Amino acid sequence: MLVLNMVHIKTFINTIHIMETILVTGGTGLLGKSLENVVDKTKYNWVFLSSKDGDLRIASDTEKIFKLHKPEYVFHLAANVGGLFKNIKFPTEIFHDNVLINENVLQACHLFKVKKVVACASSCIFPSNPPFYPMAENMILEGEPHSTNASYSWSKRLMIFQANNYRQQYGMNIIIVNPVNLYGPHDSLDLNDSHIIPAVIQKIINAKTTNASSVTIFGTGRPLRQFLYVDDCARMLVLVFESKENLSIVNCSNNEMSINNCVEIIAKNIGYTGKIEYDTTKSDGVYRKTISNSLFLSLFPSFDFTSFDVGIAKTLKWFYENR
């Protein structure tokens, strides 16, 4: 019979590595799925939530989730989000849902003494007519957000305001990240409320499949956008989370391009040679909303961004396998 004395027992206990838990809201969305694919699961116990785990718009549901998982850290990615035309069509629901989600999650982080929070805002929170470009993190309140996505923008601005309250009153360690337009695997395939890249991909694939001589894209195609491959954004979030710097808000962005240039690259990768037409009766949204990534690059100067061509090729591979 093996007999363990107290020294053996203490030595055995000390060798057990109890992993801390990181809770990810919006864990089955575009960014959540990407985060799940890029993180090191040997360092932490990662819990990726879906809507099946509870309704974050309801405070009691949110508290039950936190009580169940007892997270030490939280990545808050959950949101009622969609493309330009969803924002125009459902502004009331988008504002209502996001205000409740953000407040309930931040309140639960406070109640359950979460050590660090990384919360996702958006580049759309920045003013539509700033004094200059690109916009740094301290320029968020330099003007009104664009009217076409004002509800989503203001809900995220309010989250930043409340994050500052928790930081100042309770010392909460919370970092806000502002991603630009994300694209990649696991994006919405719904033409009615998807972002521009999956909508364009769907339209051009359908045009090629049906041998259509032309395809119509909403808007003029002239506006400029920053498109960030979703795995890049996920890696950026992890780096920000692991940073020892005293951070409060960080932009996650890269270079900008025109929408018509984006459409041409997608068409080339799909192999569509028909005519691309633009429906100028449809809204363009804001013409430009370029944000600076100088702060991020000052912290992580060797970060390797995925080129748009490579990112589109990877996205198309997923689309063909899952559409």
Domain ranges of the chain: 19-322
Q: Which two tokens stand for residue 140?
A: 């968020």
Cβ burial 57-85 (10 Å sphere, 16+ → b, else e): beeeebbebbeebebbbbbbbbbbbbbbb
- Lookup result for tokens 């990615």: 77
| Model confidence at 300: pLDDT above 90 | yes
pLDDT at 318: 93
**Using an 8 Å Cβ cutoff, are 149 and 124 in contact?**
yes
What phi-psi label fits residue 143: left (phi over 0), alpha (psi between -120 and 50 degrees) or beta?
left
Q: What is the pLDDT of residues 227-284, one digit of tens each?
A: 999 999 999 999 999 999 999 999 999 999 999 999 999 999 999 999 999 999 998 8
| Model confidence at 151: pLDDT above 70 | yes
Choose, from 44, 73, 133, 152, the residue flagged as catalytic: 152
| Model confidence at 307: pLDDT above 50 | yes
Nearest Cα to Cα of residue 321 among 185, 174, 169:
185
| Model confidence at 224: pLDDT above 60 | yes
Cβ-based burial of 11 (10 A; exposed 0-12, middle 13-18, buried ≥19): exposed
pLDDT at 286: 85
Q: What average pLDDT does the segment 155-173 reach?
A: 98
The DSSP code for 192 is T
pLDDT at 5: 59
pLDDT at 11: 52
Amino acid found at 64: K
Q: Which two tokens stand for residue 238?
A: 């992890």
Of residues 75 and 191, more confidently modeled:
75
pLDDT at 167: 98
pLDDT at 142: 94
Strand partners, 229: 183
| Model confidence at 1: pLDDT above 50 | no
Q: Strand 224-229 relative to strand 45-48: parallel, antiparallel, unpaired?
A: unpaired
pLDDT at 283: 85
Question: Which residues, at least 6 apart from 185, have a Cβ–Cβ distance to it below 8 Å?
Answer: 33, 34, 230, 314, 315, 318, 322
CATH number of 19-322: 3.40.50.720
pTM for the whole structure = 0.91
Percentage of the chain modeled with pLDDT above 90: 83
pLDDT at 15: 45
Helix axes 91-111, 59-69, angle to 10 degrees: 40
Q: What is the DSSP string of 123-187?
A: GGGS-SS-SSSSBPGGGTTSSPPPGGGHHHHHHHHHHHHHHHHHHHHH---EEEEEE-EEESTT-
Q: Is 152 a catalytic residue?
A: yes
| Model confidence at 101: pLDDT above 60 | yes
Put the strands of the sheet holding 73-76 in their side by side order.
45-48, 21-25, 73-76, 116-120, 174-179, 249-252
Band of the pLDDT at 193, cuts 50, 70, 90? low
| Model confidence at 85: pLDDT above 80 | no
| Average pLDDT across the chain, whole number | 92
| Model confidence at 12: pLDDT above 60 | no
pLDDT at 217: 94
Distances (CA, A) of 59 to 63, 81, 165: 6, 20, 19
pLDDT at 13: 47
